[in-house]
Chains A and B, each alone.
Chain A
Amino acid sequence: MIDRLDIHAWVDGELDSDRQKIVSQAVEADPALTAEYHAIVLTKTVLRSKCATEQSAESWNACRERIRRLDQDIRIQQFVGRYAWGICGVFLAILLVGAWVNRTLGSGLIRPGEVASMASTLMPVAQPRTTEPDKMHQWAVGTIGDAPMNLNPGVCQVRSISTGYCDGRRIIRVVLRDAKGDVSVWVVSGASTIDGFRPLPTGGEFLYGRMNGLPSLAWTDNGYALFVAGDRDFESLRAIALATKVR
């Protein structure tokens, strides 16, 4: 007597040759098992022959599209995952190079608006307790140091001096007074070009424009930009600028 499941296994080709021999002999000898064998074969045959394969080009195309999108995502993820440090490094390098370029090539440029905004960084320098013009002059000359500006007591008196640093630049503001009132002279280091000012229509060495809403004259000298600003006409400012500019 054989296990009837072995008949199925025989039909399905799942038996080794020895077992197959035993089962086939048993099936041949027993009409009931023979009927079972034929019924299994017939059922399998009916299924194979009647169950058609399913063709759907539309479904396959949709499937392939999903695979392609997924593949694209995977490739991007792999690329980013593998080269994340490199990508970050490139961005960092771009930032550093940009900063370096800005500092070295663009640092020579100064805008009057920048100068006005630098006022908040300035600290007044303590003045000597004297009213003697000579002592005040000495103090002022010593305070401005090597900045390329003349202090001419015959034209204006020094009222106050403030100094400070902004973006790595030394800034000096000297407030001068003459008969028409106060005038500020700004000295900014590390500036070789003045942006936004135009040459005076009368010609000459000065540029003119407005700084912080006040009429201003400006010029550059040996890596410094100098601005003279005051609430007065340009001709009057020019007189002070001429007295201040180092010859």
Chain B
Amino acid sequence: MWLGRRSARERFEKEAKRVFPSVLGTALRLTRSREEAEDLAQEAIVRAFEAYDRFDGTNFKAWILRILTNLFINKYRRRTRGPQIASLEDENVYEPVAEEGSEPDAQLFDGLLSQEVEEALGKVPEDFRTAVILSDIEGLSYQEIADATNVPVGTVRSRLARGRAILRRELEQFARREGYLKQGTQE
């Protein structure tokens, strides 16, 4: 029995170590505080270990990010409430990612630094940001994001679209302010 538990722990540690950068990165992007992110990531890992015997064995990363997201929503969000969705109707309104009549320029954001992208991401309202992080950075499927955030897949789709549109706008503002944006691209 003891040997079985030990090998289970070793298996868990191996898996957890592999996904820990994603867990910590997601925690950091959700809380936007290093200290809270480390607390959140550690708590998520510990909770996952406690529930490891209930893990279905499919996608460990998605499972642990689901625990992390739920933990964030239930415990941390009250303290670190970021920009929120203005209203439910806003969430369902489609906002184009591309500006009307403009051609996306691959070089548009080349000059942006990682920190600037992170800052722009931080300005996206929390529910949209969560969907964008889980999809675009962590590569989770719509169903996995829906499970993690306890919303229907349809809501995930609209949150992603909205989140990307807001992020795109923030990135453009950043690029324009910092002079990375080519003259005449937007105007």
Q: How many residues of B are in contact with the other chain, CB < 8 A? A: 56
- Report whether A67 and B13 are in contact in the complex, using a CB–CB cutoff of 8 Å: yes
- Report whether B25 and A51 are in contact in the complex, using a CB–CB cutoff of 8 Å: yes
In the complex the two chains form, what is the Cα distance from A67 to B137 in whole Å?
27
B79 interface residue, CB < 8 Å from A? no
- Report whether A4 and B161 are in contact in the complex, using a CB–CB cutoff of 8 Å: yes
Task: Answer whether A32 and B100 are a contact pair too, CB < 8 Å, given A8-B164, A53-B22.
Answer: yes
- Report whether B104 and A47 are in contact in the complex, using a CB–CB cutoff of 8 Å: no
B9 interface residue, CB < 8 Å from A? yes
Chain A interface, >50% SS class? helix
- Report whether B46 and A70 are in contact in the complex, using a CB–CB cutoff of 8 Å: yes
Q: How many residues of A are in contact with the other chain, CB < 8 A? A: 40
Across the interface, which residues of A come within 8 angstroms of B97, CB to CB? 36, 39-40, 43
- Report whether A71 and B5 are in contact in the complex, using a CB–CB cutoff of 8 Å: yes
Chain B interface, >50% SS class? helix
Q: Which of A58-66, A94-102, A144-152 contacts B (4 or more CB under 8 A)?
A: A58-66
A/B interface sample: 28 pairs, CB < 8 A: A4-B96, A5-B94, A8-B161, A8-B164, A14-B142, A35-B103, A36-B97, A39-B96, A39-B97, A39-B99, A43-B136, A47-B117, A47-B136, A50-B113, A50-B117, A51-B114, A52-B114, A53-B25, A54-B25, A55-B21, A56-B24, A60-B17, A64-B13, A64-B17, A70-B50, A71-B9, A71-B49, A75-B5
Residues of chain B whose beta carbon lies under 8 Å from any beta carbon of chain A = 1-2, 5-6, 9, 12-13, 16-17, 20-22, 24-25, 28-29, 38, 41-42, 45-46, 49-50, 94, 96-104, 106, 108-109, 112-114, 117-118, 121, 132, 135-137, 141-142, 157-158, 160-161, 164, 167-168, 171
